[in-house]
Amino acid sequence: MSRYWQLVFILTLAALLTACATQPPAPVEDRSVAEQVRAPAAEQASGLQVYPLRNPAVTELTDAARAAENAGDLDRTTILLERALRIEPRDPELLQYMAEVQLEKGAWDQAENYASRSFDVGPRVGELCQRNWRTIALARERQDRDDAARRARERLAQCQVEVPERF
């Protein structure tokens, strides 16, 4: 009988340890993927920029999502962005932010999908356009679609439009 109880104890302990296990953190190299998108676009933001009006509820959810992202909680970030997208499903900034979060999570297909949707409904110029195409290029690179990634990088140049001179 003692052998039976030892086996029950070991199986129970294994089940408890399995239940307490958490998802491993995202690899460090993938953590900076969004920075490969955001930072270069911000540096080249000297040209024409287009900014949409924001719903205050969406702004609150976006701020909470940024705080969650800074804390490293990508699942919470995704939940908050999904809520914001229910309010404003065609907001190009939200779609692009979700694309960048999907890049950080390693969901390459979803990242490309959100970035493409953002480009379709957003401005075809400026920083957001550059972030769209950088995201698409990175997602394609990660999927070993090098020719498609190269075409996406070539498309970046069309996003840079200089502000017209004022007379």
Domain ranges of the chain: 40-45+53-159
Superfamily of the domain at 40-45+53-159? Tetratricopeptide repeat domain (1.25.40.10)
The answer to whether 103 touches 116, Cβ cutoff 8 Å, is no
**pLDDT recorded at residue 1:** 58
- Return the sign of the alpha-carbon dihedral for residues 62, 63, 64, 65: positive
Q: Output the tens digit of pLDDT for each of the chain's 167 residues.
A: 577 666 556 656 555 555 554 444 444 444 466 677 876 655 655 555 656 678 999 999 999 999 999 999 999 999 999 999 999 999 999 999 999 999 999 999 999 999 999 999 999 999 999 999 999 999 999 999 999 999 999 999 899 887 777 76
Query: Percent of the chain having pLDDT more than 70?
Result: 71
Q: What are phi and psi of 107, to 5 degrees?
A: -95, 80
Say how far apart CA 92 and CA 121 lie, in whole Å.
Answer: 6
Ramachandran region, residue 21 (left: φ > 0; alpha: ψ -120 to 50; beta: rest)? beta
pLDDT on residue 31: 47
Give the per-residue pLDDT at 23: 45
